[in-house]
Amino acid sequence: MRRPGEQATGLLQSLNNFVGTMVGIAHTRLQLLTTELQEEVREVGQILVYAFIALFAVMMALFLGALTVIFVFWDTHRVLVACLMTGVFLLIAAASGAFLAKLMREKPPLLDDTLAELAKDREHLKARL
């Protein structure tokens, strides 16, 4: 049979272990959160740099191509060809916008892994209580 002092010590030890476990879980989840944020920032930075380079190159090629077509028809139908080139650019812009919207809809949510781990932790704690 335990004495009253031993039971209180056991309860305090159990509470101390519980708090230590919770702090450890929180620490692990925060590390996962910071890792995910760092990866996301790095990926977004790379995407933006390469997207800018590609966009600039494509726009220059399209602009010079449009000028070439307009110069070819300069004496006969320059206004018509200029309007057609403008229409082509508008179609390209609309298609690009639709593609970008699709990509944004399909992108997984930010911090998805962290939220999944926290949900698992919550379920484990509910099962124990």
Provide mean pLDDT across the span 94-115: 80
Domain range annotation of the chain: 4-128
Specify the higher pLDDT residue, 129 or 65.
65
pLDDT tens digits along 33-61: 888 888 888 988 988 898 888 888 888 88
- Assess contact for 29 and 114: CB atoms under 8 A: yes
Token code pair at residue 4: 């009253």
- Assess contact for 85 and 70: CB atoms under 8 A: yes
Percent of the chain clearing pLDDT 70 (strictly above): 91
d(CA 52, CA 47) in angstroms, rounded, equals: 8
pLDDT at 115: 74
- Assess contact for 24 and 51: CB atoms under 8 A: no
pLDDT tens digits along 11-37: 888 888 888 888 888 888 888 888 888
pLDDT at 129: 62
pTM of the model: 0.48
125 closest CA partner among 29, 31, 21: 21
Token code pair at residue 18: 């519980």
pLDDT at 7: 61
